[in-house]
């Protein structure tokens, strides 16, 4: 377990951290491969598409560069229909966000999804009322990486000073959450209920790894007078 730190701001990943979105994303990736005329990867490989930017995934899995734009367009068209229909919140997430707000902790969503899509999903699940902002990538890829999204969130929230003092933490389920936040001096608490393949999080070396929402709540609210001591692991 990590040393006690009083966090003032938590940046929260969306897919694999707040929402179980694998069914929607993998189905849309299959649709994209069909549109490109390229055989889709197997089911286990498709799960690794959840989290990182979609264009990075296509490139990493050998899609010819001239087909990537076609794949992205097909993915986005299909996912627009599935984003809220085929995803669910993980159990305890609304209660977690409510508790963090009650404890005086600021929170924001920071995701590699395009920001308009992320905001629509957050509104659908009622997350937007419990966080201080929803930040994501841009459709034109000018803000694409997780590091760029974290920078966008920190700047929009005026939180650079908090980050410099170690009072900002990222929460995510994949290595790009760990590495993208670390690029700005922000460490990451990794959750195990998401989509990281075996060994990925260990190699990325997050600040801490939690297996339950209660463990996460205890770490995030440590040092806050409004924290519930019963939630501590």
- Distances in Å between the alpha carbon of 27 and those of 5, 42, 59, 79? 40, 12, 18, 8
Give every residue of the chain whose pLDDT is below 70, as ranges: 1-4, 226-233
Q: pLDDT value at position 230?
A: 44
Q: pLDDT value at position 140?
A: 84
Q: pLDDT value at position 54?
A: 84
DSSP class of residue 229? G
Q: pLDDT value at position 51?
A: 78
Q: Give yes or no: 140 in active site.
A: no
Q: pLDDT value at position 136?
A: 97
Residues 58, 203: Cα–Cα separation, whole Å: 23
Q: Which is the catalytic residue, given 13, 15, 56, 214?
A: 13
Q: pLDDT value at position 226?
A: 62
Q: pLDDT value at position 228?
A: 62
Q: pLDDT value at position 117?
A: 93
Residues 73, 142: Cα–Cα separation, whole Å: 17
In order of start, what are the domains of the chain with their CATH numbers? 9-20+88-227 (3.40.50.1000), 22-82 (1.10.150.240)
């Amino acid at each position: 377990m990590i040393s006690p730190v009083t966090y003032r701001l938590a940046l929260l990943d969306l897919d694999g951290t707040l929402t179980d979105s694998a069914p929607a994303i993998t189905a849309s990736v299959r649709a994209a491969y069909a549109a490109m005329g390229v055989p889709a990867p197997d089911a286990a490989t498709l799960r690794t598409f959840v989290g990182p930017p979609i264009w990075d995934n296509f490139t990493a899995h050998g899609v010819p560069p001239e087909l990537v734009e076609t794949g992205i367009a097909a993915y986005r068209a299909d996912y627009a229909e599935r984003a809220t229909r085929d995803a669910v919140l993980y159990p305890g997430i609304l209660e977690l966000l409510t508790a963090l707000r009650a404890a005086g902790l600021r929170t924001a969503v920071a995701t590699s999804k395009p920001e308009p899509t992320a905001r629509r999903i957050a509104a659908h699940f009622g997350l937007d009322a419990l966080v201080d902002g929803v930040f994501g990538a841009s459709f034109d890829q000018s803000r694409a990486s997780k590091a760029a999204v974290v920078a966008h969130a920190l700047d929009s929230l005026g939180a650079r000073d908090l980050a410099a003092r170690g009072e900002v933490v990222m929460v995510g389920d994949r290595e790009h959450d760990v590495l993208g936040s670390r690029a700005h001096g922000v460490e990451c608490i990794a959750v195990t209920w998401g989509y990281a393949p075996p060994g990925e999080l260990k190699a990325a070396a997050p600040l801490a790894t939690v297996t339950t929402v209660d463990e996460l709540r205890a770490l995030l609210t440590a040092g806050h007078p409004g924290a519930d001591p019963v939630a501590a692991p």
